[in-house]
Each structure stands twice: as C-alpha cells, then as structure tokens.
Structure 1
Amino acid sequence: MRILFSEAAVKARIEALADAIARDLPKDFLLAPVLTGAFIFAADLLRALHARGLDPGVDFVQLSSYGGARASSGVVALIKDFTVDLEGRSVLIVDDVLDSGRSLHFARRMTLDRGAAEARLCVLVRKATGRSADIEADYVGFEAGADDFLVGYGMDDGGRSRGLPFIGAM
C-alpha cells in the first residue's frame, strides 16, 4: 500500500470543504452520508461544519453497486432508504469516492424525485475514470488515479482498512 493523502492532508482538506459548504448552503440543510464508506468522512465534515456555525440535520442512505467486489457491478441497489422527509430541503449527499458515478447519480435523482429543493454532492475522492453516469461533484476533496484501489478513512478492501487515518492505494 502507498499513502496517497496523509492524515494531516485529509484534515486540512475537510476544513477547506467545510468553508466552501458553509458559504453555499443554508444553515438548516440535510447532510446525507452514503453508507458505508462515507461515515468517517461525514462525521469529520459534520464537526467542521459545526465549528462554522452550521447544524445540519443528518440522515443516512445506503447504496450498493460493488457487493464486496473491487469493481462495480453496474447495478445500484438501495439498501437503506432515507427516514426523513426531503420535501423542500437542501440536501448535501456525502460519499467517499466518485468513480463510475452510478451510485451518486442514483442518490441525486432519488433525492430530487422526493421533492428536495436541491441535491448537491460532496466526495472525499474523485477518481480519474470515465463516468458511466453524467455526474459531477459540487465539492471534491482529492483526485486519484483511475487504477488506484482506495482504502482508509472509511474506504475498505473487503471490510478491512476502513480505520486507517489516511487514504492509501492498494
């Protein structure tokens, strides 16, 4: 494994993302982390937003297109749905990686279909891959190569390495 982004670099980047989000979104927006990979990133981002005077609601959605494999199956499955009403809300969907774009396209479309006023996307890492779906993130932490298999900071390899405090590539 090689370290792509150190613990200090991740912390600094989350602070910068929180600055941008605090400028753009209303104080009462909904933070919607995509489980399971985004839970660590979302927790640190939530604390950084709080330090800037924001107190967003939080609700989780869980999607799957990998099924434990290292490559997407191409089919997005809804595993855990939102539990709050999205009607008229500003929603920030937070995910670990933007790769093919299928999951985030699905999440954004589902959010808007349920009446959200807006659905913005924040990703920790955007991979330099061709997107299967027409989607771009509004907030991006880092860029990684198309062939980098990412672990750490919530991202895993078969359920392992999520707790690493940095982002590495296998």
Structure 2
Amino acid sequence: MRTLYTEQQIAERVDEMARQMAEDLPKDFLLAPVLTGAFIFAADLLRALYKYGSDPYVDFVQLSSYAGARSSSGVVTLLKDFSVDVEGKTVLLLDDVLDTGRSLHFGKGMVEDRGAAEVKTCVFVKKLTGHAEDIHCDYIGFEANADDFLVGYGMDDGGRMRGVPLLGAVN
C-alpha cells in the first residue's frame, strides 16, 4: 500500500472543510453520508462541525455501484433509504470518493426529487478521471490519480482495510 494522505493531513483538511461548511450552511442542515465508505469521514466531520457551531441532523443513505468489485458496474442501487423526510431541508450529501460520479449524481437527484430546499455535495477524495456523470462537488477533501484503488479511512478492498487511519492506494 502506498500512502497518499497521512492521518495528520486528513485531520487538518477535515477541520478546514468543517470551518468552511459552518460558514456556508445553516446550523441545522441534514448531513447525509453515503454508506458504507463515508462513515469514518462523516464521524470526523460531524465532530469538527460541532466545534465550529454547527449541529446538523444526521441520516444515512446507502448506495452502491461497485457490488464488491474494484470498478463500477455502471448501475447505482439504493440499498438503504433515508429514515427522515428531506423535504424543505438543506442537505449535504457526503460520499467517500468521486470516481464515475454515478452514485453522487443518483443521490443528489433523489434528494432534489424529494423536495429538499438545497442540496450540496461533498466528497472526501476526487479521483482525477473523466466522470461519467456531469456532477459538481461543493466540497472536496483531496484528489487522487485515476488509476489509484483507494483504501483506508472508510474505503475498502473487498470489505477489508476500512480501518486504516490514512488514505492509501493499492494497485
């Protein structure tokens, strides 16, 4: 495994992102992490947001386009729907990685269709690929090369390596 970003770099960047979000978003927005890859990022971001005066609601959605493989199947599947109504809320859709853009595009469309007042998007890491879907990200933590298979900080290789406290690449 090759280290892309250390624990310290991640902590500093998450803190910077939280400070900016606390300035940009209403204090009671809905933080909507996409399971399973974004759960560690979401936990760290939530604590940092609180430090800057934000106390968002949290609800999870689970989307998948990988189905355990190392590349996207091209089809996004809703595995777990929201538990709360998003109508009229400002929603920050939080994902681990922007690769093809399909999952984030699907999730954003779903939230917009349900009547959210505003939908913002955030990814922990954006891969430098040509994205299959035209998606703009409001907040981006880091960038990685198109051919990097990312692990750690919630991202996995066949269900393993999610607990690695840094962002690494295996090829």
TM-score (normalizing by structure 1): 0.99
- Show structure 1 runs of 4+ deviating over 2 A: none
In structure 2, C-alpha distance between the alignment counterparts of 1:154 and 1:46, rounded to whole Å: 15
Structure-2 separation of matches of 1:41 and 1:54 = 16
Residue of structure 1 in register with 2:95 after alignment: 95
* Structure 2 residue runs without a partner (length 5+): none
Cα shift at 1:136: 1.8
Partner residue in 2 for 1:80: 80
- Find the counterpart in structure 2 of residue 16 from structure 1: 16
Alignment partner, residue 57 of structure 1:
57
Which amino acid in the other structure matches residue 103 of structure 2?
S
Q: Which runs of 5+ in 1 are unaligned?
A: none
Aligned to 1:27: 27
Question: What amino acid does structure 1 have at the position aligned with 2:130?
Answer: G
- Aligned equivalent of 1:107: 107
Query: Considering only aligned residues, what root-mean-square deviation do their CA atoms show, in Å?
Result: 0.4
Instruction: Determine the structure 1 residue equivalent to 2:168.
Output: 168
* CA displacement 1:131-165 (0-9 Å, x = unmatched): 11010210000010000000000000000000011
Partners of 1:26 and 1:124 in 2: CA distance: 21
Q: How does 1:31-46 map to 2 (within 5 A)?
A: 31-46=31-46
Report whether the alignment pairs 1:155 with 2:141. Answer: no
TM-score between both structures, scaled by the size of structure 2:
0.99
Cα distance in 2 for partners of 1:30, 1:127 equals 25
Seq. identity, %: 68
- Structure 1: distance between partners of 2:28 and 2:22: 11
- Output the CA distance in 2 between the equivalents of 1:167 and 1:16: 17
Aligned residues: 170
How many Å apart are 1:116 and its aligned residue? 0.2
